[in-house]
Structures are given as structure tokens and as C-alpha cells.
A and B are shown apart, each in its own frame.
Chain A
Amino acid sequence: MTRVLALMWLSATLVAGCVFQSAPATPPPAPAPTTAPAKPAASAPTVAPAAPAPTAVAAATAAAAPVAKAPALPTGPVEIVFWNITLPGQPEIVADRVKEYTAAHPNVKFQVDNLAYSDLETKLRVAMGTGAGPDLTLVNSGWLPPYAEKNNFVPISPQALGYPSLEAMRQAYIPAALDAVIYDGKIMAIPYYWNVFNLYINTAHFKEAGLDPDKDYPKTWDEVLAVGRKLTKTEGGKITRQGFRFPIVNRPNVQSSFEPILFQLGGSAIGPDGKCALNSPAGVKAMDLYASFTRQKVMDPNVSVATVPIPTLDIAKEVTSMETGHPLTVQFIRANNKAMFDSKGFKVVPYPQVDPSKPLTVMNGQTFAVNAAAGPDKIAVAQDFLRTLIARPNEWLARVGAIAPIKALLETPEATTFPYLDVILNDMKYGRHITLSKFAAEISEGEFRAVQAVLLSSVDSKRALDEACVEINRAIGY
């Protein structure tokens, strides 16, 4: 009798638990992508002129093509949940843009969640998968493929952003950057902060070694090795200053430093047969080149992999003479070593090449995307807000250091406040996005483990890449 009672009680609790818990939420079917309402072309993202006379961009956009009708935005109350990141300056500029928009649209409220970037990828995936995703969110361009495949984001209409057509938008943007966010002819997210990888050098170290930083900076990987040897300092057999360094702290760092070499040598992460191609002859050659800096004692991976959370801080701290990095490095130098920044103690030069006649570097960036499950009112408002959000990219440049992949950015007065913006934007022309795949996480993890094995434990490059490919192929389904 007692056992029966106990069993009855347990069953009741279990049933209660099942009732109040939800089963794994199947994501709601993606609504048909809504075409964003057309906007007048005059309100294209103009670069706000600092001088009284309008800039070339403003003039060009003023004389733009036919004006589309204003959209019918909802008049009732709408609340938009917006996931932003805590990059210095970004929460503030987003708050200002929200204020600007809500002043013009008092029925709209925003809930802006400023998240740590390191948490965003997993949080977003889990939230989108369980139907709890934000209405508008920041998304790294490398995360887009699985969302694009499932139509989780609303395609963004060029007209919504003030362009008469996609072609007009491609003319205004750096094409390679925009192409990275176009899936099946549709723009799945809008890039506002684009990274391209260049080489950052310490000019004082160059001069100390008897080199001219304006002429003697390396253009090829062989030159990087040669110059790196001259810049490296050792003490008692240990490297005290690395002449050159790849950032290898985590998988995004490794992917963005390994893949340019892989691509320059004609390789790729995934082959035409859909299987992992890292262990191809080109991949092995790329790994050997990558490891040559460690093998020839120009780089010490043990020091940098252990603690530095932001690898490009080493340039700011002047413990590295040369390092590949993205434009945020300039911000870090400005914030952490003002003396170096003010005295032009650093220089940004084009990315080193295997073959200078075929330049190639890698890029990726941050974008904003609208959740397709947000509901028609929220989608309409979010798309409309996007135009306000990304307007005046020169302001984003000045306040956040965000380089929008827009050609006209270089013509703005703010461009002069960002050193070497011309080099950065020029390299974007030769940029290729890091491997875009729904298995991007597994690919970058495989590359990361292979690089660790080769650089930290002197494992043979072919063996390390073979093991990486076993894991990647397992994920793909081979």
C-alpha cells in the first residue's frame, strides 16, 4: 500500500513536470520573406559632411534615381528586441540611433541587450533554435550560412536602405564584402563593420634594426621570415621579442591567419567533392609555411597562446614587431599606447603574399540581420530602423572604429582620423571571406587543433591535418 502511494505521488510529480516543461521547441516555420518597403533614394546612407559643402557622396546620392513610395509602418505600439555587443563605443552609438529613431517613431520601443561578443554566437544559435531569438541582431558574417539555409533572417531589400537596386548598392559598397552576405541573390544581413587582415608593424623596432619601415616592410612571406629574423630578440635561448607572430589564441584567430596562406597557395578548407581538403598538398604546404616562423625561432607560440585574450594587444604593448591583424588593432593601439599612436610608431601595410602578382587576403565582419520569425510589424520596423542604424558610417568610424565596406568612406573627413584607412580599404578589394559553411565551427576547430599540434608540439603537418580532416569529415557526414 505504501509502495503504491509512493508510486502514485512520483507519477503525479512526473506528469506535472511534463506539463510545465516544454519539449524541444521545433523552430517555427520561417515566414515567407517579406520584401522591405521601398524608401526614397535620397535617404540612402549618406556620409554626413563635416564641412559646409556637401561631399561627393551626398551630391551623388542627392541626384539619385526614382523615389519609391514610403512604407506603411505599423502605427500601433511595437517593441523591438535588439541584440548588440559591448564593443567600446558601440552601445553608445546604438543608443543614440535608437533615440533618433524613436523620436521620429514614438510608437516604437527598443529593448537593446548589450552582450559580450564571445557569448553571442552560442546564445544566438540557441535562442533562434528555440524560437526566442531577438527581432534584430548583430551577426558575424561567418555565422550566416546555417541561418541563410533555413531562411531564419529576412532578406534585406536595397530599397529599404535607400538604394534603387542591388547593383547600385554593389557600386556603393566594396563588392567582395557585399557578396559575402548575399545568398541566392538575396542580402541576408547588412555589413556595417568589416574586417580585412593586414600586416601591422612596429616602426621603432624597424629603425632599431636598421630597416626603413616605409621601404623595407615585407611583401612576401619569405620577406616576413627574413625581416622577422632581424627583429626577433632572444635572451638565454628564449625569445623576448617576437619578430613576427600569428595570433593563435583561439579558433577565429587561427582561421583568419591560416586561411589566407591556404587560399594564396590555391587550397581550400572544403574541396569540390564536399569533403575536407585541408590535408591536400596545398594545405600541407600552407601549414609548413605557417609553422616556419616557429621552427625558425621568429615566433614563440607558447607565450602568446597562454594568456593574451586579445592577441593584437601585443603590438600595442610592443612585445611583437610584426603581426597580422584586423583594423581593431588600430583602436587597441590608440587606447593602450597613445604615445605609439600619436608618434606613428606603427604602420599598416598590405598583407604578405605568396605571389605578389595575385594578391589575396581574408576578411569577415559584423552585420545586422532581422529575424524572420519576428512577425510582420516588427520586421517592417526593424528593416526601417536598419537604415537609421547604419546611416552616417563616418560616425561609426569616428566613434567605434568600425569600417563599413563603403567606398565613399575614404572621402570623408573622419577618414583622416583613422590611420592607414586607405591601405585597409585597398586590401578589401583583394579580400576573400574566410570559409563560409554551415560546418564553419568544426572547420575552424579542426584548423585550430592542427595548428596547435604543429606549432606547440612539433607534430608533422600532414598528420595534424589528416586528423583535422577526420573530425571535419565526420561532422559533414563522410
Chain B
Amino acid sequence: MASSLALARQRITAISRLRRHRDLLMALLFLSPALTYFTLFKFYPMLQAALISLFDYDLLSPPRYVGLYNFALLLTDTTFHRAIAASFFYVAGVAIPVWVVALGFALIFNRPGRTRQFYRLLYFLPAVSSVVVAAIVWKFLFNPLGLVNAFLSSFGVDQVNWLTRLDTAMWALIIVGIWRTTPYFMIVYLAGLKGVPQEYYEAAAIDGANDWQCFRYITLPLLQPTIALVVIVTVILGLRHFINPLIMTGGGPAGTTRVLPLLIYETGFQFTRMGLASAMSMVFFAIVMVFTVLQLRIFRRIGSE
């Protein structure tokens, strides 16, 4: 009796192990197209870039091994340091408002109503417009004789040379960045809000909680994973962004809007110093990874508290 029971148990274990392997194989099969794509077009180029960072390579001559020389150059390269500072300034300027404004719009559009649906669509349009076209249009809008100054002059504000003054060029880019990024994360927040059970709000209403209390004690805690996602992704996207500086200011005036991705692009494709550009991108990757890990830890700690 005991031995037949043990045999049955063994058989069950073997069958479930087989099922797990089969499930794993099926999962790998379905994941293989995406994993192949990522391996070929993301991971492999990253490995190549890491390799090229150890070489001096100008595209026209064979690569020459220089070890960590390119990284050593970056330690004393003030242009590189300024580009990192510009990137962080841009991220802070775009990400922080987006965290708040996108949530605000999401809360507004979370309520039912046909009109709201129409406005939600309208507010989402910037996120789906072509980045390049939008940058060109904004460049015209920010022209000293453009619509932005025309609008401001109706309030008695003098003409502002948005894109050619050291103190305003980056702010112009930040405005465009907020305009473009907010709608996308509004949708992310909306998806998160849809996951908050309505019963909690109903129960809170019965207990006499007002809107702010509902938001503070129900919405925010339950939205935490979404907030974590938004914070991490906005920082990553902000650090990566370079189309607007490329088109609107070219990194100027006098290099004030030359963010790190733009510097990497210039170093690699205009000055054709591929090794140095790859070293910059490796450092950039490390910075983004550090920030991402830090943020994840912070949010995990908040979650556990």
C-alpha cells in the first residue's frame, strides 16, 4: 500500500516536471521572435559598442586597440561633463512636471463622459505626432517672430529669443518635452487607475472620506506600481532624448543644449571618433542603469513600508 502510494507520488512528480518543461519550451518558442530581435538588434550591438569603446576607430582606418584610454579621456573632458549636466537638467525639467501633470489629466479623464473621451483623444495627439515634424513646427513657433512671442506680446511680454539665448534655449526644449511626453504617461496612469477597484471608493464614501482623502489613502498607494513605472521610464526617456536638441537648436547656443546623446551622435558621426563615442555611450548606459536600480530600490522600500 505504502509502496504503491510512493510510486503514485513519483509518477505525479514526473508528470508535473514534464509538464513544466513542456510549458517552458512552449514559452521559449513564443518568445523566440522577440528575443531573437532583441539579441540581434539590441544586445549584440551593445556588445559591439562595448568592444569598440576599447579602440580608436575613425571608420576609414582599421580599429586600433587603446584599452581604457577613451574612458580616461572622458574623466577630464569638460564638454562631456557639461553634456551630462545638460541631460540631467533636461530630465529634471521634463520628468518632474510630467509625473504630476499626467496624473492630473488622468484623474480628470478617468471619469466617464463622451466629451471627456473626445478631449482625451485630443490631448493624446502630441504623443502620436512625428517627433521630427513636431520639432520643426516648434522651432518655427519659438522664432523671435513666431506665435509664442506673438501670444506673449498680447500680455505685454517683450520678444524673447527662445532658441538663441543661453538662459532660455533649454527651457524651450523642456516645454516641448513636457508637451510631448505628458499625453503618453496620462494613458499609462489611466490604465493604472482602471485597476483600482471602485468598491474602495464606495466604501470610503460611506465612511465620509472626501476627494482628497480618497486620493491620498486609496488612489496613491494603489497606483504606486504605475507611479514607479512612470518615474523610471520618464527618466530613461529624458536621458535618451536628442531629436529636439538636434533639430531645434543643434546643441546651441554655445553648447548649452548639447545633451549627452547629441554629443555622442556628434562625436561618432560628425567627428567620426567611434571609439570615443562608444565609450561615452557605455558611461551613459552605466548612469541610466544606476538611476534605474536606485529608483527601483526606493519604490520597493516605499512599497514595503
Complex Cα spacing A442 to B254, Å? 14
**Could you tell me if A442 and B20 are in contact, using CB atoms closer than 8 angstroms?**
no
**Which of A9-17, A154-162, A174-182 forms part of the interface with chain B?**
A9-17
**Contact partner, A128, options B25, B35, B59, B253, Cβ 8 Å:** B59
Within 8 A of B (CB), among A116-138: 122, 125-126, 128-130
**Cross-chain contact A301 with B164 (CB below 8 angstroms):** yes
Contact A27 B62 (CB under 8 A): yes
Return the contact of A306 from the options B20, B40, B164, B271 (Cβ within 8 A). Answer: B164
A456: Cβ under 8 A from any B Cβ: yes
For the residues of A in contact with B, the DSSP-based class is helix
Contact indicator A150/B39 (Cβ below 8 Å): no
- What string of 1s and 0s marks CB contacts (under 8 Å) between B261-292 and chain A? 00000100111111000000000000000000
- Which single residue of chain A is at the shortest CB-CB distance from B254? A453
Complex Cα gap A82–B62 (Å): 25
Q: Enumerate chain A residues within 8 angstroms of B62, measured Cβ to Cβ.
A: 26-27
Closest residue on chain B to residue A29 by CB atoms: B62
Query: Is B154 an interface position by the 8 A CB rule?
Result: no
B24 within 8 A of A: yes
Complex A-B: 7 CB contacts under 8 Å: A10-B39, A17-B36, A20-B40, A27-B61, A128-B59, A307-B143, A452-B164
Kindly supply a per-residue 1/0 record for chain A positions 244-285, scoring 1 wherever the CB is within 8 Å of any chain B CB and 0 otherwise: 000000100000000000000000000000000000000000
Given A122-B269, A306-B139: A147 touches B161 (CB 8 Å cut-off): no
Closest residue of chain A to B252, judged by CB? A452
Which residues does B use to contact A, with CB under 8 Å? 17, 20-21, 24-25, 28, 32, 35-36, 39-40, 43-44, 48, 52, 57-63, 73, 77-79, 139-140, 142-145, 159, 161, 163-166, 250, 252-255, 266, 269-274
Given A238-B159, A475-B271, verify A2-B20 contact (CB < 8 Å).
Answer: yes
Instruction: Please give me the 10 A-B residue pairs with the lowest Cβ-Cβ distance, nearest first.
Output: A129-B59, A453-B254, A302-B161, A26-B62, A456-B253, A457-B166, A452-B253, A17-B40, A17-B44, A302-B164
A13 touches which of B39, B57, B58, B140 (Cβ 8 Å)? B39
Contact of B164 with A445 in the complex, beta carbons under 8 Å: no
Query: In the complex, what distance in Å separates the CA atom of A14 from the CA atom of B47?
Result: 11
Please, what's the 1-or-0 string for A458-474, where 1 marks a CB less than 8 Å from any CB in chain B? 01000010000011001
Q: Are B60 and A150 in touch, CB under 8 angstroms?
A: yes
Could you say which residues of chain A place their CB within 8 Å of the CB of B17?
1
Q: What is the CA–CA distance of A294 and B230 in the complex, to the nearest angstrom?
A: 46
Known: A302-B164, A306-B163. A125 touches B271 (CB 8 A): no
B48 and A24 form a contact (CB under 8 A): yes
- Hey, which chain A residues are within 8 Å of B21, CB to CB? 1-2, 5
Considering the complex, give the chain B residue whose CB is closest to the CB of A448: B252
Asked if A449 is at the interface of the complex by the 8 Å CB criterion, the answer is yes
Q: Are A14 and B44 in contact (CB under 8 A)?
A: yes
When chains A and B are docked, how far (Å) is the Cα of A238 from the Cα of B161? 12
What is the distance, in angstroms, from B137's C-beta to the closest C-beta of chain A? 11
Residue in contact with B254 in the complex, picked from A130, A250, A449, CB distance below 8 Å: A449
Output the nearest chain B residue to A440 by Cβ-Cβ distance.
B271
Contact between A129 and B144, CB atoms less than 8 A apart: no
Distance (whole angstroms) from the CB of B145 to the closest CB of chain A: 7
B273 pairs with A475, CB closer than 8 A: yes
- Alpha-carbon distance A24/B54, docked complex (angstroms): 13
Within 8 A of B (CB), among A293-314: 301-303, 305-307
Bound complex: CA of A288 vs CA of B205, how far in Å? 71
User: Whose C-beta in chain B lies nearest to the C-beta of A30?
Assistant: B60
With A5-B25, A23-B48, A464-B254 known as contacts, the answer to whether A470 contacts B78 (CB < 8 A) is: yes
For A125, the chain B residues whose CB sits under 8 A away are: 59-60, 269, 272
CB distance from A412 to the nearest CB of B (A): 39
Q: How far is the CA of A456 from the CA of B255 in the complex (A)?
A: 12
**Nearest B-chain residue to A470, judged by Cβ:** B78
Alpha-carbon distance between A14 and B21 when the two chains are bound, in angstroms = 22
Contacting A445 at CB < 8 Å: which of B35, B63, B165, B270? B270
Question: For B274, what are the chain A residues with a Cβ–Cβ distance below 8 Å?
Answer: 24
With a cutoff of 8 Å between Cβ atoms, the chain A residues found around residue B163 in the complex are 305-306
Contact B63 A18 (CB under 8 A): no
Least distance between A15 CB and chain B CB atoms (Å): 10
B164 — which chain A residues lie within 8 A by C-beta?
301-302, 305-306, 452, 456
A5-B24, A456-B252 given; 8 more Cβ-contact pairs under 8 Å: A9-B28, A16-B39, A18-B44, A24-B57, A125-B59, A126-B269, A453-B254, A475-B271
Residue pair A307, B48 in contact (C-beta under 8 Å)? no
B253 touches A13 (CB 8 A): no
A167 to chain B, nearest CB (A): 31
A303 near B145: Cβ-Cβ < 8 Å? yes
Tell me whether A146 is interfacial, beta carbon within 8 Å: yes
Contact A250 B253 (CB under 8 A): no
CB distance from B78 to the nearest CB of A (A): 7
Q: In whole angstroms, what is the CA distance A459 to B255 when docked?
A: 13
- State whether the Cβ of A57 lies closer than 8 Å to any Cβ in chain B: no
Other-chain residue from A18, A307, A457, A471 in contact with B79 (beta carbon distance below 8 A): A471
* Residue from B28, B142, B144 within 8 A of A303 (CB atoms): B144
The smallest beta-carbon distance between A308 and chain B, in angstroms, is 10
Flag if B39 contacts A306 (CB, 8 Å): no
| Residue of A147, A303, A306 with most chain B CB atoms under a 10 A cut-off | A306
Given A21-B40, A456-B164, A307:B139 Cβ within 8 A: yes
A112 interface hit (Cβ, 8 Å): no
CA distance A146 to B61 in the complex (A): 10
